Structure 1
Amino acid sequence: MSLLSMRNLEKHYGKQVVLERVNAEVQEGEFVSIVGASGCGKTTFLKMMLGTESPSKGELLLDGKPIVQEPGEDRGVVFQRYSVFPHLTALENVMLGEEFVQARWLGRVWGKQRQAIAERARAMLTQVGLGHALDKYPHQLSGGMQQRLALAQALTKKPRILLLDEPFGALDPGIRKDMHQLITDLWQQHQLTIFMITHDLKEGFSLGSRLWVFDKIRHDPQAPDAWGASITYDIPLDRQAAGSGPQPSEQQIRDRVYTTPRVA
């Protein structure tokens, strides 16, 4: 059984059709890069995966069962904007999620239980390269360091699926290269299934093990919102390890997209 199944998935907002006829199967451990024009439904799709939006039609299944329409511990998310709490230190930011969970059953978390949470948070921060910045606040961290902190937050509950919504879009090229290596290492170490939205086609090819192109198959200039986008290209990248081997050139990327049969 596939980890995730999409069967004639659609999303409407009133008369506006954002996504339609989305059909795909994703196996555990895949890294799916998602590209497409602005407004074609990429983030809406990620929100349905996260559970903050529900499908209008069709099915979105995890292990053969509909995804619960609320965020869950099995799905972590990192946005382009640094989604960290400014009034908490790096360590406190990563501890917070587990503290919330335990507080539901135990009330305020104290003593050995809080020490154990802090130890796990320190280990995660060390893994993302922030072991030296445990007591720093977000405003004291660079953009790349804040995204490392957001990754640590997303991974602290050991999710099976990691959702990335243009996580490197606001970073300088040199920092992005370091973050590419980090996400590759985390993908392998945590055996994650990753969905990553990017506007950088080369980034999508160099990181992912599979590339989806979202676009509208049907267009109506008289009613532009009548039809939604779907996966028009589904390109296997034949990578067991993301980022392995030389990066493709821009021409190689264009050739690969335009010579791959369009999804019906």
Structure 2
Amino acid sequence: MIQVNQVWKQYDDNIVLERLNKTVDEGEFVTLVGASGCGKSTFLNMLLGTEQPSKGEILLDGKPIPNEAGSDRGIVFQQYSVFPHMTVLENVMATCGFQRPGITGYLFGSGRSAAREAAESILEQVGLSQALKKYPHELSGGMRQRLALAQALLGKPRILLLDESFGALDPGIRSDMHDLVLNLWSEHKLTVFMVTHDLKEGFYLGTRLWVFDKLRHDPQAPQRYGAVITYDLPVGHMDQTTYQQIDDHLRPIPAQAG
């Protein structure tokens, strides 16, 4: 489904990613981990189409990913975007409107009825059927992320992109969101890419784990080299030694003052 062919990404003299070569089958769930600033979110944005490779190509079904976001790719960020003056139901219905041709996105007649039905259905799937009339400021963090998932899934995407979506949630709520995402992944037959800083989360969710890291370093020019994918591991088949090596590298122990 996805082919990443010799992809590089740089901004002026700053090389963020280099020499990426991967294939992903439809229905896989890939988690991406790595140190801050190593290009995980940049890679996600290239899948979304809002960023383009500086070299190489990313193909979807054998064709280059369009240079713009599309309904076949839904994304959920850690910082969600909603209209504060609209209810939960109205926010999701507005997403329907923006997916239709035209400038305003307004819905009328049968179009509005269909949008309401679709919005109510997806909100029930994400567990917000009792919060249709609530406003964003009345929602907990977990409920807001459920709303963001509903908006992302409304267009029936084939690919779901999660960018640190659960990083700000309390552990208990995060666990509930994990269960929800796994259920939605199975039910909607999604292909999922999820960025996380939590290695345990990366190994709990999905089918594959990618570790982004810089293998080449130049102390005189730290931006000269970009990150590559240093590990591509099947989830659930990790020996403790390798896990500890990755964890220690992602969270190095500060040197003790002597």
Fold similarity call, TM over 0.5? yes
User: Where does residue 45 of structure 2 map in the other structure?
Assistant: 47
Give unmatched runs, 5+ long, in structure 2.
Answer: 249-258
Q: CA distance change for structure 1 residues 107 and 28 in 2, over 3 Å: closer, same or farther?
A: closer
Within the candidate set 9, 12, 18, 1:11 is matched to: 9
User: Where does residue 190 of structure 1 map in the other structure?
Assistant: 188
Whether the aligned pair in 1 keeps the contact of 2:160 and 2:193 (CA below 8 Å) is: yes
1:167 partner letter = S
Q: CA distance change for structure 1 residues 105 and 170 in 2, over 3 Å: closer, same or farther?
A: closer
In structure 1, distance between residues paired with 2:101 and 2:148: 22
Taking structure 2 as the reference length, what is the TM-score of the superposition? 0.91
Deviation readout 1:200-227 (Å, 9 max, x if unpaired)? 0000000020000000111111110000
1:64 partner letter = G
User: Where does residue 77 of structure 1 map in the other structure?
Assistant: 75
Q: Does residue 1:155 correspond to 2:158, yes or no?
A: no
Shift of 1:148: 0.2
Q: CA distance change for structure 1 residues 105 and 43 in 2, over 3 Å: closer, same or farther?
A: closer
Cα RMSD after superposing both structures = 2.1
Q: CA distance change for structure 1 residues 5 and 257 in 2, over 3 Å: closer, same or farther?
A: farther
In structure 1, distance between residues paired with 2:182 and 2:173: 14
In structure 1, distance between residues paired with 2:80 and 2:91: 12
User: Where does residue 36 of structure 1 map in the other structure?
Assistant: 34
2:135 partner letter = Y
Q: CA distance change for structure 1 residues 92 and 141 in 2, over 3 Å: closer, same or farther?
A: same
Give unmatched runs, 5+ long, in structure 1.
Answer: 240-247, 259-264
User: Where does residue 237 of structure 1 map in the other structure?
Assistant: 235
Whether the aligned pair in 1 keeps the contact of 2:99 and 2:105 (CA below 8 Å) is: no
User: Where does residue 91 of structure 1 map in the other structure?
Assistant: 89
Whether the aligned pair in 1 keeps the contact of 2:98 and 2:105 (CA below 8 Å) is: no
In structure 1, distance between residues paired with 2:118 and 2:233: 38
Q: CA distance change for structure 1 residues 98 and 166 in 2, over 3 Å: closer, same or farther?
A: same
User: Where does residue 139 of structure 1 map in the other structure?
Assistant: 137
User: Where does residue 244 of structure 1 map in the other structure?
Assistant: none
Whether the aligned pair in 2 keeps the contact of 1:78 and 1:167 (CA below 8 Å) is: yes
Taking structure 1 as the reference length, what is the TM-score of the superposition? 0.89
User: Where does residue 253 of structure 2 map in the other structure?
Assistant: none
In structure 2, distance between residues paired with 1:108 and 1:195: 32
Whether the aligned pair in 2 keeps the contact of 1:205 and 1:253 (CA below 8 Å) is: no
SS in 2 for 1:96: helix
Shift of 1:251: 6.6
Deviation readout 1:17-54 (Å, 9 max, x if unpaired)? 00000110000000000000001000111111111111
1:198 partner letter = T
Within the candidate set 198, 201, 204, 1:200 is matched to: 198
Q: CA distance change for structure 1 residues 20 and 106 in 2, over 3 Å: closer, same or farther?
A: closer
Q: Does residue 1:253 correspond to 2:243, yes or no?
A: yes
User: Where does residue 21 of structure 2 map in the other structure?
Assistant: 23
In structure 1, distance between residues paired with 2:37 and 2:78: 16
